[in-house]
Structure 1
């Protein structure tokens, strides 16, 4: 436990939310191993204490004496007070479009690093545009997308590049969500905030182009051969039926690749990301439902239809919308990365090879309970990496995607020790 007046190593903000509770459970198991001090924060002291009691009973670790901090996204003073008590804030309060900026700003003012699990490109890129200089000046790191969105794919490409031992030209990523035992599957399971974030992300997708023009006024070099996107519905022999993945992974990966090119003078990797669904019928259903979802999300009345039932629900009913523990335990995630490039390395990052690609490597990133258990482990290990290995991170602070932030640290090795597996499955 921290000495009176000292900052806690980590504070989980939003500890009474669905993901926050899972993060508390995971940190209860990791804190002793990693020798860190931590606390929980949220709006309601009674609910926070209840979470600590429930986690104590479930984990076998007595965490009832863990510090409890009262903080509310609508109260800047409380957020600043929280930030001044932590070295790193683990922000689990979404949608980040509405609630994220206030926490980032308070962390930078109060002297705390900030990590979150956002999968919202508009929020992530706007934070980099508006707060990178401030974070760098203060020697603080703000790293978003430190969960399933988008550590497996972003750091998966970092892992791939290290194993490739040549020049990687392109990577096609195929993500698959499934069940360890399909006969026991109860459906995918989705938390309300994740659903709400998706609705508003699609509704405001038109914000990205002007935002990116400001964030990146200079264009990246055009690498050859160019990686063209595959057909919207295609069948790859090694994988199965797939469609373009609408998550934030590709946008996060591209930000990291731009950093590697501009700062580390490395050849940028071209990337496309797809989602696997084994059945063509399921693909057609997903496309149909996706088109309806996209159409409704574009208009205020449509968003009202998509969110009305859940907005009117009380907290108890919202919890029923969450995945059950049985569903979580049975769920799995696989990201398969197909890389092509050359055995030889060019002397300059934008130098074009004169011969066709002559090397292929396939890697996989796998984990269980991806959306909540593994996401929480990724978030906690990301925060610990900032604490223990900031000297191996870029600059002296700033706003980064996880690939750029953690490429030279031991985070991948730490994740492998805690259930998130990175491996090469083919090297030709």
Structure 2
């Protein structure tokens, strides 16, 4: 008799993100049957022991599955053993596709925390139709990149009482009660490696998008123009730069999907990140320019990957941030939406307004430990939502961004349930 499928398998559980996903699974997946997977049984057992002690829970009976990203047969067996794979094994450019392919073949859903734009859009280009045939959901960007922005726009539209034309996001991060411990590394090398390879191959995006979207979306007036490269924001009282992450590309993919499938007017969006002073913003801008230039050359990439701590000023570490830093860190994403009240709603989503927006809504998405707390809770919450509310998701399945996949579900409520989840709140409604 065949063994009954687990609900969830956390793949890559011995990695830095993976082990903290195991820790959060104790509470987020408490009503589900879940297991962990990776290459080395002893290391997987160590993770269960370590995270079980941290969570004050005996995890010794959690099932362990042996699977290797370079062994397609093992990946297929892993995918067949569960209803959804929670994939924490990056960089996804190198290690993601084989897992996606195995999940689709097995008829198993897949979520990950990729912030790698080329990977996400390539998966949509190559596997969307096959995933739909199999009735499988493949959803990336299910962590700090880019749940706050993408589900934040969903939250905005649910609370706007009208038609949203545009959203600007302003991200700020920090740490409470700064001490020497909180000045440890900010991220682990996996995140750094993803950024290096993503920037190095950013020129691939144009070709991918031309194949992915044969027709451009119509332009809706008024067009949201990007702000200056550096500016003082009155919305968050910070000096801001354009946010270099995948948020805008993820949000725009969701908005295109909702326009094409629900005939909803797409929301325009630009993303920014805020700093406490002009000096801090200038230093970050200089480093970002240096980092970007280094990724364009083989020698530069080699140096960045070989000496991450040195070339990041200690911000990156193979051991990741300390427990103290993670516990004290937080993020806030303030979102400013403009549009028209419901009294001015037009008949069709494709209709054009002739009057400028007259309504504004300010909201905030916030949470603790964005890299390895909120991210892990969000990732697991998307898995829970797929298992419990697939009837509220696009009926066809497919390769989708979070906003497209979960806009009609209770994912936001699920995120707000957990200690290390995310809070969505209205700041002002005018």
> Fold conserved (TM > 0.5)?
yes
Aligned counterparts, 1:278-317, within 5 A: 278-309=276-307
- 3-state DSSP of counterpart to 1:290: helix
Assess if the C-alpha contact under 8 Å between 2:332 and 2:367 holds in 1: yes
TM-score (norm 2): 0.95
Select the residue among 127, 133, 137 that pairs with 2:133. 137
Q: Does 1:96 align with 2:98?
A: no
Q: Does 1:127 align with 2:129?
A: no
Determine the C-alpha separation between the residues in 2 that align with 1:144 and 1:24: 18
Match of 1:342 in 2: 340
What does the per-residue CA deviation read over 1:224-275, in whole Å, with 9 as the maximum and x for residues that have no partner? Answer: 1111100000001232100000000000000000011110110100100001
Select between 243-252 and 410-419 the one with higher mean Cα deviation.
410-419
Match of 1:406 in 2: 406
Deviation at 1:58, TM superposition (A): 1.4
Match of 2:211 in 1: 214
Match of 1:86 in 2: 82
Instruction: Please report the RMSD computed on the Cα atoms of aligned residues, expressed in angstroms.
Output: 1.4
Assess if the C-alpha contact under 8 Å between 2:29 and 2:384 holds in 1: no
Deviation at 1:348, TM superposition (A): 1.0
- 3-state DSSP of counterpart to 1:336: strand
Deviation at 1:187, TM superposition (A): 5.1
Determine the C-alpha separation between the residues in 1 that align with 2:425 and 2:185: 25
Deviation at 1:181, TM superposition (A): 2.5
Determine the C-alpha separation between the residues in 1 that align with 2:123 and 2:422: 27
Determine the C-alpha separation between the residues in 2 that align with 1:309 and 1:64: 37
Assess if the C-alpha contact under 8 Å between 1:189 and 1:321 holds in 2: no
Determine the C-alpha separation between the residues in 2 that align with 1:31 and 1:174: 31
Select the residue among 239, 242, 249 that pairs with 1:241. 239
Distance 1:420 1:276, change over 3 A: same
Structure 1 unaligned residues grouped into runs of 5+: 312-317
Match of 1:421 in 2: 423
Assess if the C-alpha contact under 8 Å between 1:104 and 1:142 holds in 2: yes
Determine the C-alpha separation between the residues in 2 that align with 1:292 and 1:232: 16
- 3-state DSSP of counterpart to 2:367: strand
Match of 1:203 in 2: 200
Assess if the C-alpha contact under 8 Å between 1:16 and 1:42 holds in 2: yes
Determine the C-alpha separation between the residues in 1 that align with 2:396 and 2:352: 32
Determine the C-alpha separation between the residues in 1 that align with 2:411 and 2:375: 14
Deviation at 1:373, TM superposition (A): 1.1
Deviation at 1:220, TM superposition (A): 0.6
Q: Does 1:164 align with 2:166?
A: no
Select the residue among 21, 24, 46 that pairs with 1:23. 21
Deviation at 1:395, TM superposition (A): 2.3
Determine the C-alpha separation between the residues in 2 that align with 1:141 and 1:31: 19
Deviation at 1:319, TM superposition (A): 6.2
Distance 1:319 1:409, change over 3 A: same
Assess if the C-alpha contact under 8 Å between 2:28 and 2:381 holds in 1: no
TM-score (norm 1): 0.95
Q: Alignment length, in residue pairs?
A: 418
Select the residue among 103, 109, 126 that pairs with 1:107. 103
Structure 2 unaligned residues grouped into runs of 5+: 310-315
Determine the C-alpha separation between the residues in 2 that align with 1:144 and 1:71: 20
Q: Does 1:51 align with 2:47?
A: yes
Distance 1:217 1:341, change over 3 A: same
Deviation at 1:30, TM superposition (A): 2.6
